[in-house]
Structure 1
Amino acid sequence: QAAPGPIVRYSLSRRRTMALRNVLAAASRLPRATPAAFKMRPTMAVRKNSSGAVQEKSFKEIWLSDPGTYPVIGIISFACLFCGGYYSYNILTNPDIRITKGKRRDTVIRNWSR
């Protein structure tokens, strides 16, 4: 068995300097992106004709052709229906919401001082 080496204690500033050197050395050895990675790619949902003209895709082609979008459509539909139902419930049952003009003239809805 080899004897363990001496325990060396470095100051905090020395440890920071050594850590910074290690980070910079590792960063210089990391692979970098090639210029081809920065090439402009189309970001919109488009397709090209045989003549090279660009046509936008329809809503159906964008959303309904990919099964991965079905949960998104379902969640958004449920949220819209839930919000619409909640707003309708509040408009119809909440005494603080007044739709008819006859009920709007009262300024005090509740008097808690009694």
Structure 2
Amino acid sequence: MEGFEWGCFNSPISDARNINIGTELENTIAIVTFHNEFNTFYDNPEQCSSISNGTVPAKACLELVIEGFDNWPLPLEGELLLIYENLHLNGLGNFDVDSILNWNSTDHDDNTVTATDF
């Protein structure tokens, strides 16, 4: 999902503030629902912000199908840290560390979301 933004720049999504493992799907759905409520956000992201590009990783995750599995959630911040510590640091996972910033589904406040840089 290289080149993806988190979504609508500088917009609060208070329903995506779950931090407990197991709530990532709730956050992901909240993010997608928020963006779907904009009239044609994906084709006209400037209605949200002049710097938005219309990409939403949470939407891409929900639409992803791999070997028959679908409805993938965007991971929580804590899950990405576990992936970093348990997989990446042990040379597992085939992470392209030079080009990937890993968005997560945790919206911290009205102006801040986070990503994990492996």
Query: TM-score, normalization: structure 2?
Result: 0.19
Q: Relative CO higher for 1 or 2, CA cutoff 8 Å, sep ≥ 6?
A: 2
Q: Between Structure 1 and Structure 2, which shows a larger proportion of strand residues? A: 2
Q: Between Structure 1 and Structure 2, which shows a larger proportion of helix residues? A: 1
Larger radius of gyration: 1
